């Protein structure tokens, strides 16, 4: 291990090199293994999570820290599992105008797929979404959906029988979706993250 990490003494390093030069297959395999382990550890030191994931976690903690509602309403926070902003744009269009963005959130049996698209020549963003559940496939009862920001409610809608809904809004800090499920449980979807900031206006 010290040999692979360049931490062995000059005498040890020379001795091991001579031994490897003799053709010892077992020790060569051991050195190759520790070289791969060392390379992997070096890569981990420089690895950073996507900024949108970090922002999502921060807002999830902020939501969890808020005072509980006076009414007995359960509350869950959906987890971000996919964000198209994590994928690099195609060469040639990276400096162009904002493109539609797709994100996917999950919480237990519920999935919430969202598509954000900037409205041309406007500060507004059009949001279309679909709520699906694995435990109750088929037609769904209407689910109230409320989009809020730091200044309160921005837009509201209800899902149709396929779980689809659409909203339009002007982005601001603290964005979140609140869905009141059939069991009166509130599902919160934190939206503020680095990915969604492609729609923010200075």
Total domains, the chain: 2
Helix H or strand E encompassing 94: none
Give 198's pLDDT tier (boundaries 50, 70, 90): very low
Q: Give the model's pLDDT for residue 71.
A: 45
Give yes or no: residues 182 and 124 share one domain.
Answer: yes
Q: Give the model's pLDDT for residue 202.
A: 40
Within-domain flag for 17: yes
Helix H or strand E encompassing 117: strand 110-118
Q: What is the CATH number of the domain that holds 173?
A: 2.60.40.10
Give yes or no: residues 194 and 146 share one domain.
Answer: yes
Mean pLDDT value across residues 19-36: 88
DSSP state of 199: G
Give yes or no: residues 39 and 126 share one domain.
Answer: no
Dump pLDDT digits (tens) for 53-112. 676 676 666 666 654 444 445 788 888 888 887 766 555 544 455 568 888 999 988 999
Give yes or no: residues 17 and 55 share one domain.
Answer: no
Within-domain flag for 97: yes
As a whole number of angstroms, the distance between CA 93 and CA 62 comes to 35
* Domain hosting residue 32, numbered range: 10-46
Give yes or no: residues 83 and 104 share one domain.
Answer: yes
φ, ψ at 199 (rounded to 5°): -95, -10
> Where does residue 129 rank: exposed (0-12), middle (13-18), buried (19+ CB within 10 A)?
buried
φ, ψ at 104 (rounded to 5°): -135, 130
Dump pLDDT digits (tens) for 122-150. 888 999 999 998 877 667 889 999 998 88
As a whole number of angstroms, the distance between CA 157 and CA 139 comes to 18
Within-domain flag for 139: yes
- Tokens at 55, concatenated: 């922002």
Give yes or no: residues 55 and 97 share one domain.
Answer: yes
Which residue bears the tokens 């060569």? Answer: 28
- Tokens at 11, concatenated: 């005498």
Cβ(159)–Cβ(131) below 8 Å: yes
CA 100 remoteness from chain centre: 16
Mean pLDDT value across residues 41-46: 74
> Where does residue 109 rank: exposed (0-12), middle (13-18), buried (19+ CB within 10 A)?
exposed
Count other Cβ atoms within 10 Å, centred on residue 3: 18
Give yes or no: residues 25 and 105 share one domain.
Answer: no
Give yes or no: residues 42 and 139 share one domain.
Answer: no
φ, ψ at 75 (rounded to 5°): -140, 130
141 three-class SS? coil
Give yes or no: residues 41 and 127 share one domain.
Answer: no
Q: Identify which has the larger pLDDT, 197 or 153.
A: 153
Q: What is the pTM of this model?
A: 0.60
Q: Give the model's pLDDT for residue 38.
A: 82
Give yes or no: residues 39 and 132 share one domain.
Answer: no
Give yes or no: residues 83 and 165 share one domain.
Answer: yes
Within-domain flag for 4: no
**What does pLDDT average to over the chain?**
79
């Amino acid at each position: 291990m010290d040999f692979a990490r360049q931490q062995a003494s000059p005498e040890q390093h020379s001795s091991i090199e001579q031994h490897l030069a003799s053709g010892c297959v077992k020790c060569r395999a051991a050195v190759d293994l520790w070289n791969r382990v060392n390379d992997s550890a070096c890569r981990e030191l420089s690895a950073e999570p996507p900024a949108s994931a970090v922002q999502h976690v921060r807002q999830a903690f902020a939501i969890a820290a808020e005072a509980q509602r006076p009414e007995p309403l359960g509350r869950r926070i959906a987890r971000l599992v996919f964000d198209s902003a994590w994928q690099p744009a195609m060469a040639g269009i990276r400096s162009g105008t904002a493109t539609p963005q797709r994100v996917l959130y999950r919480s237990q049996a519920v999935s919430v797929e969202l598509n954000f698209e900037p409205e041309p020549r406007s500060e507004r963003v059009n949001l279309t979404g679909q709520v699906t559940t694995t435990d109750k496939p088929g037609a769904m009862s209407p689910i109230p959906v409320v989009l809020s920001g730091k200044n309160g409610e921005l837009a509201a809608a209800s899902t149709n029988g396929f779980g689809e809904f659409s909203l339009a809004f002007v982005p601001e800090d603290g964005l979140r979706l609140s869905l009141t499920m059939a069991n009166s449980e509130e599902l919160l979807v934190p939206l503020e993250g680095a990915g969604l900031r492609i729609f923010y206006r200075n």
